[in-house]
Structures are given as C-alpha cells and as structure tokens.
Amino acid sequence: MGEASRLGPVIGFLAAVLVLAQLRADEGLFEACGAWMARSAAGRPRRLLVQVFAVASVTTAVLSPA
C-alpha cells in the first residue's frame, strides 16, 4: 500500500497530461503548431529543431506541477 500511495500523484499527473494531450489533439492544436513551425523554418532544419525544442520546453514547463 505504501508504494501505491507514493506513486499515486505521479500516476495522476501522467493521466491528466494524457487526457489534456488527447483533447488538444482532437482540437487540432498539434497540427496547427507543426504547420506553423514548418512554415516559419522555411526549409532550415536547424531552425525547425530549435522551434521543436522550444515548444516542447514551454509545454513541459506549463504542464509540470509546481
């Protein structure tokens, strides 16, 4: 029982992130963000990579518990 109570918040957080991700995917957020990054990178792979890392970092920071 101790292990389950210790892991409960982590499992709850992961479940919430998965639900939020699915809701955003259903709304087309990821497709819109990907299209924006592809357009603004204009064929420059390094710029696209930097944009992907930036978006992933901001998303992680926003969704991570304090």
Looking at per-residue pLDDT, the higher value among 34 and 60 belongs to: 34
pLDDT category at 52 given cuts 50, 70, 90 is very high
Whether this prediction's pTM lies above 0.75 is answered by no
Considering only CA atoms, which of 27, 21, 30 is closest in space to residue 55? 30
Please state the domain extents for the chain: 2-63
C-alpha distances out from residue 23 to 2, 10, 27, 31, 49, Å: 32, 20, 6, 13, 25
